[in-house]
Amino acid sequence: KLASELQKRSTGRTLYVLDEPTTGLHFEDIRKLLGVLGRLVDAGNTVVVIEHNLDVIKTADWLIDLGPEGGSGGGLIVAEGTPEQVAGVAGSHTGSFLAPILQGSEVALEDPSLFDRDASTPTKKVPTKKVPTKKAATKKAATKKATTKKATTRKTATKAAARKRA
């Protein structure tokens, strides 16, 4: 939808509202999307993006952080301002995750300090269940062959019956 909209002649007076446009996109595609959004703004348009991706959030001119939680626990404006201003608001969950990114250090999801568990306790690897895929595939192929053979037999029997009648 965005691509078809961008092919139209820009008036510089358009409001674009995008709801989580990065969902399902590869990092390279997100980078391209940010370039497109920047060009829309440079052309005089207004772009409003509802987003959770910090790479998109950090490039915004102005943020409005709703919360403090999601659903019925949210709906209040927790912080607003530039990404740097929101990162400095103590009650903003977005700000707490945004601050290290703006300082140049990426937040690693594996960072033990982000969770309540003891950082010195290694995570236990869960064994995966092995599935006999080859047997299942062979059985499926055998069933398909049997079905095909039955259909061929029926066609032959029908032709033979038709010849007897004639």
Domain ranges of the chain: 2-109, 130-166
Written as six digits, the tokens of 142 are 């055998």
pTM value is 0.60
Predicted local confidence at residue 117, as pLDDT: 36
Predicted local confidence at residue 108, as pLDDT: 43
> How confident is the prediction along the chain (166 residues), in pLDDT tens digits per residue?
777 777 787 788 999 999 999 999 999 999 999 999 999 999 999 999 999 999 999 999 999 999 999 999 999 999 999 999 999 999 999 999 999 999 986 544 444 443 343 434 444 444 444 445 555 555 555 555 555 555 555 555 566 666 666 6
Predicted local confidence at residue 146, as pLDDT: 52
Say which residues have a Cβ less than 8 Å from residue 55's Cβ, sequence separation at least 6. Answer: 22, 27, 30, 34, 101
CATH number of 2-109: 3.40.50.300
